[in-house]
Amino acid sequence: AQTVTQSQPEMSVQEAETVTLSCTYDTSENNYYLFWYKQPPSRQMILVIRQEAYKQQNATENRFSVNFQKAAKSFSLKISDSQLGDTAMYFCAFMKHVRPGYALNFGKGTSLLVTP
Binding mask 29-58 for other proteins (x = CB under 8 A): --xxx-x-x-----xxx-x--x--------
25 forms part of the interface with other proteins (CB under 8 A)? no
Distance CA 104, CA 28 (A): 16
Q: How near is the Cβ of 48 to other proteins at its closest, in Å? A: 11
| Residues in Cβ contact with 15 at an 8 Å cutoff, skipping those fewer than 6 apart | 82, 83, 84, 114, 115, 116
Q: How near is the Cβ of 116 to other proteins at its closest, in Å? A: 27
Radius of gyration of the chain (CA): 14
User: How long, in residues, is the chain?
Assistant: 116
Contact residues: other proteins, CB under 8 A: 4, 31-33, 35, 37, 43-45, 47, 50, 91, 93, 95, 97-98, 100-109
